[in-house]
Amino acid sequence: MDREAYSGKLFIISGPSGAGKGTICKRLIEETNVELSVSMTTRSPRPGEEEGKSYFFTTMEDFQKEIEAGGLLEYASVYGNYYGTPKQKVVEKLRAGTDIVLEIDIQGALNVKEVYPQGIFIFILPPSMAELRKRITGRGSESEDAINLRLSQTLKEVSYIDKYDYCVVNGDLDEAVARVKAIVMAEHSRVSQSIYQLIEKYKEEV
Amino acid sequence: MDREAYSGKLFIISGPSGAGKGTICKRLIEETNVELSVSMTTRSPRPGEEEGKSYFFTTMEDFQKEIEAGGLLEYASVYGNYYGTPKQKVVEKLRAGTDIVLEIDIQGALNVKEVYPQGIFIFILPPSMAELRKRITGRGSESEDAINLRLSQTLKEVSYIDKYDYCVVNGDLDEAVARVKAIVMAEHSRVSQSIYQLIEKYKEEV
């Protein structure tokens, strides 16, 4: 991805499963102008899903071509279907001044960082491992062993936090959402290209 | 100043005269837990001024000693009196977890940056030079020539903006205050020492 300064910003919200990144993203999209990135997938559309809104639907062959052409910010295979983030679609939005949020696991976020280091990387943390255990246990779908494995996996994932710009502890959801919204607002106040344009305008005025 | 990571943060709010940094600082102090740094001065206390609250009052001799000992984050002489920011007092607050804001001109801010680069430097900009001219003219205390001189001075000052972390255009005051508050909140979500402490706690829990 080129280093052109876009007026829109790419926020990557990431973190271990159970930390609540999905809920935070949903609130962010509902309460601000930030838009969710639309993924590309090889799976078939489900009833009610719209092309370009829910997903960009594509064939396995075309998805493979996208991978080879470097057209994806990141991608993953889930149950035999591919899911990925089309770079060009994201760039179009950013160039038009729209903020985009990507909700993604840690490995995916690290891949995005390789190709788009100027993204803003936010790590969502659970308030404690005890609380995370409670949240996962609450879902009731996993055995004790599976939960223990998940928690030690979480510890490994958390060690990548120094690759991130921000971390938000999701104890109280409202507070966590407020923090993410503050990050979005603050990042738009960074000294950047647009300020130099304002300063050029000052010069013409004096 | 040592590189110990304090839980409180030092915010430096700076910008040309007339940009509105004073009003923004006042609102920030009223509406958040951020505290204003108390300056040290050689001028005499005025009625109602309290030692350690309005200022730390001191003699010319002791102020000189502070300068020589490197005990000031920055200082300036105004109408024959010295004003400065006592480093030790700021560090005590930061260590105790209190955020401190310094409202200061550009030269002062650059001096603070030399000794405390981990401070968060915010530049307040007027929305346009025309608006700045209007604001200064509105005060009615300066001649046309003096105002023109001030505006070209402002242009020079603005060229230091790349030494700052953030810039906030003060067109609408409420919006500018909201932006500065967002910066304060976001900076407390930076990946930092305190997060590594939380992660150590996670490890004990698993």
CA A94 to chain centre: 14
Q: Is residue B54 part of a domain?
A: no
**Cβ-based contacts of A205 with chain B (< 8 Å):** 128-130
Chain segment B3-43, per-residue pLDDT in tens: 567 889 999 999 998 899 999 999 999 999 999 999 999 99
Give Cα separations from A141 to A16, A138, A165, B206 (angstroms).
17, 8, 33, 20
Q: What is the pLDDT of residue A99?
A: 97
Task: Kindly give the pairing relationship between strand A81-86 and strand A39-41.
Answer: antiparallel
CB pairs under 8 A between A and B: 110
**Cβ-based contacts of B187 with chain A (< 8 Å):** 186
Question: What tokens appear for A101 in the block?
Answer: 């949020």
Q: Is B121 helix (H, G, I), strand (E, B) or coil?
A: strand
Q: Is residue A3 part of a domain?
A: no
Question: What tokens appear for B142 in the block?
Answer: 């300066």
- Indicate if ipTM > 0.95: no
Is B162's CB within 8 Å of A186's CB?
no
Length of chain A, in residues: 206
- For B124, other C-beta atoms within 10 Å of its C-beta total 26
- The per-residue pLDDT string of chain B (206 residues; one tens digit each, 9 = 90 and over) reads 555 678 899 999 999 988 999 999 999 999 999 999 999 999 999 999 999 988 999 999 999 999 999 999 999 998 899 999 999 999 999 999 999 999 999 999 999 999 899 999 999 999 999 999 988 888 777 888 988 988 998 999 999 999 999 999 999 999 999 999 999 999 999 998 778 888 888 888 87
Q: What is the rounded distance in angstroms from the CA atom of residue A55 to the CA atom of residue A35?
A: 14
Low-confidence ranges of chain A (pLDDT < 70): 1-4
Q: How many folded domains does chain A comprise?
A: 1
Cα first-last separation, chain A: 38
CATH number at residue A141: 3.40.50.300
Q: Is residue B118 part of a domain?
A: yes
Contacts of B154 (CB under 8 A, 6+ apart): A202, B16, B17, B18, B126, B129, B132
- Burial of B99 (C-beta count, 10 Å sphere; 0-12/13-18/19+): buried
Q: Is residue B1 part of a domain?
A: no
Q: What is the pLDDT of residue A2?
A: 53
Is A155's CB within 8 Å of B206's CB?
yes
Q: Is residue A76 part of a domain?
A: no
Q: Is residue A89 part of a domain?
A: no
Among the partner residues A169, A186, A195, nearest to B186 by beta-carbon distance: A186
Among the partner residues B130, B154, B191, nearest to A164 by beta-carbon distance: B191
Among the partner residues B152, B166, B202, nearest to A189 by beta-carbon distance: B166
Q: What is the pLDDT of residue B4?
A: 64
Q: What is the rounded distance in angstroms from the CA atom of residue A103 to the CA atom of residue B20?
A: 38
Q: Provide the shortest C-alpha distance from residue B91 to chain A (in Å).
A: 24
Q: Is residue A146 part of a domain?
A: yes
Question: What tokens appear for B130 in the block?
Answer: 């025309």
- Burial of B3 (C-beta count, 10 Å sphere; 0-12/13-18/19+): exposed
Q: What is the pLDDT of residue B120?
A: 97
Closest CA to A34 of A124, A105, A117, A94: A94
Chain segment A119-160, per-residue pLDDT in tens: 999 999 999 999 999 888 887 778 889 889 889 989 999 999
Q: What is the pLDDT of residue A3?
A: 54
Is A155's CB within 8 Å of B198's CB?
no
Q: Provide the shortest C-alpha distance from residue B65 to chain A (in Å).
A: 37
Q: Is residue B53 part of a domain?
A: no
Q: Domain range spanning residue A195? A: 10-37+99-205
